[in-house]
A and B are shown apart, each in its own frame.
Chain A
Amino acid sequence: MANLKTVSKKSKAQSMGMHTEVLTGRTQQKFFNPDEAENFYYFGTHDVDFNKRTEIDVKDMTAPEANKEIDNLMSQGYGTIVIKNPQGKHSLGVGILNKLNLIFEGSLGYFGMGSCDGPIVRINGRVGWSCAENLMAGKVVIEKNAGSCFGAAIRGGDLICKGSVGARTGIDMKGGTIIIGGDAGAFTGFMMQRGRIIILGNVGINLGDSMYDGTIFVGGEIGSYGSDAVDSELTSSDQDWLKRKLKVAEIGENFDVSKMKKIVAGKKLWNYDNLEPTEKKGAI
Chain B
Amino acid sequence: MCGIAGLIHRGKSSNVGSELQGMLQALKHRGEDSTGYALYGDTDGKNFIMRFKVGENVGEGSSSVMEDVSVYDERKKIVDETLAEMGAKIVKEERTLPYSLRYEIDYNVKDLLEFSQRIESIPGVEILSMGKSLEVIKDLGNAKMVCDRYSLDKVVGTHAIGHARMATESGVDIKSAHPFWGYPFSDVSVVHNGQLTNYWNNRRVLENKGMRFMSECDSELIAVYLAEKMRDGATLEEGMKASLTGLDGVFTYFVATKDSLGMAKDTMAAKPLVLYESDDLVAMGSEEIAIRSVLPQEIDTYDPFDGEVKVWQI
The stretch from B95-103, B161-169, B236-244, B288-296 touching chain A is B288-296
Which of these, A88, A128, A144, contacts B300 with CB under 8 Å? A144
Contact with B along A184-217 (1 / 0, CB 8 A): 0111000000000000000011000000000000
Against A, the Cβ 8 Å flags (1 = close, 0 = not) of B275-314 are: 0000000000001110110001011111101110000000
Q: A147-B303, A167-B306, A186-B267 are in contact. Are A125 and B298 (CB under 8 A)?
A: yes
Interface size class of A (residues with CB under 8 A): 20 to 34
Residue-wise, chain A 94-111 has the 8 Å CB interface mask toward B (1 for contact) of: 000000000001110110
A164 near B302 with CB under 8 A, answer yes
Interface flag for A115 (CB, 8 Å): no
- A163 contacts the other chain (Cβ, under 8 Å)? yes
Question: Counting CB contacts under 8 A, is A239 at the interface?
Answer: no
B289 contacts which chain A residues (CB < 8 A)? 87-90, 109
- The verdict on B274 contacting chain A, using a C-beta distance below 8 Å, is yes
Q: Is the CB of A88 within 8 A of B291?
A: yes
Most B CB contacts (10 A, CB to CB) among A105, A106, A183, A186 go to A186
A90–B27 Cα gap in the complex (Å)?
12
Q: Which residues of chain B come closer than 8 Å to A227, judged between CB atoms? A: none
**What per-residue 1/0 map shows which CB atoms of A145-169 lie under 8 Å from chain B?**
1111000000000000001111110
| Smallest beta-carbon distance A70→chain B, Å | 19
CA distance A54 to B296 in the complex (A): 23
| A185 with B305, Cβ < 8 A, contacts A125-B298, A147-B274, A167-B269 known | yes
For B271, the closest partner residue in chain A by CB is A148
| CB-based contact B287/A185 at 8 Å | no
Q: Is the CB of B305 within 8 A of A126?
A: no
Whether A166 contacts B303 by the Cβ 8 Å rule is yes
Q: Which residue of B lies closest to A168 (CB)?
A: B269
Query: Counting CB contacts under 8 A, is B268 at the interface?
Result: yes
Query: How many Å from the CB of A210 to the closest CB on chain B?
Result: 14
Q: Bound complex: CA of A146 vs CA of B300, how far in Å? A: 11
B249 at the interface (CB under 8 A from A): no
- B120: min CB distance to chain A, Å: 40
Are B288 and A106 neighbours in the complex by a CB distance under 8 Å? no
Count, A-B residue pairs, CB within 8 A: 74
**Chain A CB within 10 Å, residue with most, of B270, B298, B300, B305:** B305
In the assembly, what is the distance between CA of A147 and CA of B288, in Å? Answer: 10
Q: Beyond A88-B287, A107-B288, is A126–B301 a contact (Cβ under 8 Å)?
A: yes
Chain B residue with the shortest CB-CB distance to A164: B302
What are the residues of chain B within 8 A of A168 when measuring CB–CB? 269
The answer to whether A166 and B288 touch (CB under 8 A), given A185-B269, A186-B269, is no
Complex: how many Å from CA A186 to CA B244? 15
**Nearest CB of B to A84, in Å:** 10
Contact with B along A129-140 (1 / 0, CB 8 A): 100000000000
B194 proximity list for chain A (CB < 8 A): none
A205:B306 contact, CB within 8 angstroms: yes
Q: Which of A128, A164, A204, A205 touches B287 (beta carbons < 8 Å)?
A: A128
B272 contacts partner chain A, Cβ-Cβ < 8 Å: yes
Contacts of A164 in B (CB 8 A): 302
Would A126 and B300 be within 8 Å (CB), given that A147-B274, A166-B305 are in contact?
Answer: yes
The residue of chain A having its C-beta at the shortest distance from the C-beta of B300 within the complex is: A144
Which residue of the partner chain, among A105, A126, A166, A183, contacts B269 with CB atoms under 8 Å? A166
Neighbour of B306 across the interface among A144, A147, A163, A204, CB < 8 A? A204
Contact A88 B268 (CB under 8 A): no
Known: A147-B303, A148-B272, A185-B305. A109 touches B288 (CB 8 A): yes
Q: Taking CB as reference atom, which chain B residue is nearest A167? A: B269
CB of A88 within 8 A of CB of B306, answer no
* Chain B residues with a Cβ under 8 A of chain A: 267-270, 272, 274, 287-289, 291-292, 296, 298-303, 305-307
Given contact pairs A87-B292, A87-B296, enumerate 14 new A-B contacts (beta carbons under 8 Å): A107-B298, A125-B298, A126-B288, A128-B272, A145-B301, A148-B303, A163-B302, A166-B269, A166-B305, A167-B305, A168-B269, A185-B303, A186-B307, A205-B306
Can you sample 30 A-B contacts with CB below 8 Å? A88-B289, A88-B291, A90-B287, A90-B289, A105-B298, A110-B287, A126-B288, A126-B301, A126-B302, A144-B300, A144-B301, A145-B300, A145-B303, A147-B274, A148-B269, A148-B272, A148-B303, A163-B302, A164-B302, A166-B303, A166-B305, A167-B270, A167-B306, A168-B269, A185-B269, A185-B303, A187-B268, A187-B269, A204-B269, A205-B267
